[in-house]
Structure formats: structure tokens, C-alpha cells
Amino acid sequence: MDDAGQIQTPRAVAAKSLRTPTTVSPQLQRSISTMAAQAAAGGGGLPLGWRPGSADEWTALIAQVDAQALALVPALAAMFPHRVELMQVAGVTVRQIVPASLDPAKAGRVLLNFHGGGYVLNGGEASTGEAVLGAHYSRMTVVSVDYRMPPEHPFPAAVDDAVAVWRALAAERPAGAIGVFGTSAGGGLTLALALKLKELGLELPGALATGTPWTDLTGASDSYQVNAGVDGVFSSFDGMAGGMAALYAGDAGVTHPLVSPIYGDFAGFPPTIFTTGTRDLLLSDTVRAYRAMRAAGVTARLEVHEAMSHAEYIYAFDSPESAVVFRDIAAFFDEHLKG
């Protein structure tokens, strides 16, 4: 036991080989197999257990990962036609995504999106992948926020940018007509925005959609252990993720509620839908936030997808599973947004 009397004896688990499951679509099977092959070759996702040790290494990593995201842009544009309008809102760079599927009946509504990437990656043009998918399936305009990130801009820069854009959008329409969504760090920022709006006494969004949200940057959640090396996208908290957490939190520390929203108070939150998968490193972060919302009396829904790694519904965007994720989110917004 530790000093608090808690049992801390670790349990060894035998190594095993993971097969590509046959219980998912051929498209998702291909994604899972591709990631497994990349991992076996020492490439693909973030290196297990490694983190940049210098500003130059962070810069090189960011450029590498952002290039991978940008490489998907042509395929996304072909499958999900849209136009992108680059603009400044309240001094913050945003990209407004207007889908070809836009429904004129929803003209009074708008969605606000925060991209993932550990609060460090996927800035600039690389920030819009999820926004494009969300716009297509919701048939609504999406404002994708290119929030400031470390190393130059640690917390609270991202939250400040989120609040600034929120104020601007909410000045133009009822708060209940605005939905907010994001995945991973973007999911965490979605929750942090709502916490900050509560703190400021401002109106909250009509609904939230948080995909595999990064809610505990301490790395304490169970699935950080259970799904380490299993998740094909986000393989381990040790190393890279822990480095991004420290880089983002800065002097505020990783237990600050606006850094790790699981330590915040969800009472009074708008209806929220959570999405995760059985191979997701952040499965527990997602489940813990969902349970906390339920305990606080919030209308909350949890969707768990078979064999899906962290945010894989964005990368395997040609899969039926991805379509289900975004159609569920779109239906949730349709049910709860007003205007």
C-alpha cells in the first residue's frame, strides 16, 4: 500500500499479438491493418515512449505531423465538397467551412470546432479535417478555430481564443443556436470553453459533442495503461503525450480544471454526446467525463465503437463507422440546438 493506504501492487499482463478484427467494416479493417504495419516498421504514429527534447525537435515534429494531416486534404475535398473561407474573428484566425450539403433550413445555426493534436499539432491549414466532416454530415456551417498553441503560446492562450470567438458568434445569434465540437485536445477544449463560460457568467452553447476528449492530462486514467500499445493512433501517454501535456499546461499545472476538465464542475452543462472506441487510449478519459456529467444531472450520451483507436473516425473517413459517428453527432445537434 502507499502512504494513503491504497493498494498499489501492479499486475503483470502477458504480451500478446493483436489481430485485425473481422467485426468491423472492410474500410476500418484496412485502417487498423495499415496502422499496425506502420507501427511494426517503426513509423506511422507518434514514437512510443519518445518526446522531443528541444525546441527544434518540437518544431520538426509539428511540421511532420501537420504535413501528414495536409496530405488528407485532397481526398477529403473530393469526398466531402466544401469551400473554405479564411478570416479573423475577434482577432483569432478561423476557417469557415461551408459544405456543399448545406441545408438552408439550418441557416440560423452554426457549429464551432476545435481541432485535436495534443494542443501542439495540426495548426494552420491542417486544422480543418474534422470540421469538414462535421459540416458535411450536419449540413451546417462550421467555424474551425486555429487557436494559438505551444511552444510559443501555452495555456491559457487556447481557452482565451475559444472564448473570444464564442463571444463574437454569440453576439450574432442565440447561444442555443450554436453547437461546439472537437476531438482529443479539441474535445478537452470544448469542455474547457463551457467551464470558462460558466465562470464568466456567460450563456452556454446549445449542445456539445466531444470526441475521445483529453480530459485528464495527468495520465491517471485506466485506459492509459490498458490500451497502451493497443491504440494505433495515440499509442502511449509516456513520452510524447506527457510532453505535450506539460508543454500546454505550463505554469498552471496539469490539474488545473481548464487544462484537465475532469477536475472541473459539469453542473449546468448543455446536453453532450461523447464518442470513443474500444482501442482508444482515452477511453477512460471519455467515460470518466461522461459519468461525471451524468452524476451532475447533465443530459449526456456515450457512443463506444468497436475496435476503434483514438480519433480513428477522422482518419478512416471513408468507413461506415466514421459516417455513423458524424451522423450521430449531427442528429444530436439537430435535437438540441434551437434556432
- Model confidence over 207-224: pLDDT tens digits? 999 999 999 999 999 999
Tens-digit pLDDT profile for residues 289-319: 999 999 999 999 999 999 999 999 999 999 9
| Stretch among 15-19, 87-91, 217-221, 255-259 having the lowest mean pLDDT | 15-19
Q: How confident is the model at residue 49 (pLDDT cuts 50, 70, 90)?
A: low
Q: Indicate the helix (H) or strand (E) that contains 220.
A: none
Give mean pLDDT, residues 275-290.
Answer: 98
The domain spans of the chain are 53-336
Decide: 150 and 177 in contact? Cβ < 8 Å.
Answer: no
- Average pLDDT of the segment spanning 191-215: 98
What sign for the dihedral angle of Cα 32, 36, 39, 44? negative
Of the candidate ranges 68-77, 110-119, 184-193, 219-228, the one whose mean pLDDT is the lowest: 68-77
pLDDT at position 41: 52
What CATH topology corresponds to 53-336? Rossmann fold (3.40.50)
Residue 3 — pLDDT band, cuts 50, 70, 90? Answer: low
Confidence of residue 43 (pLDDT cuts 50, 70, 90): very low
Between 234 and 251, where is the model more confident? Answer: 251
Contact 269, 208 (CB under 8 A): yes
pLDDT confidence bin for 44, thresholds 50/70/90: very low
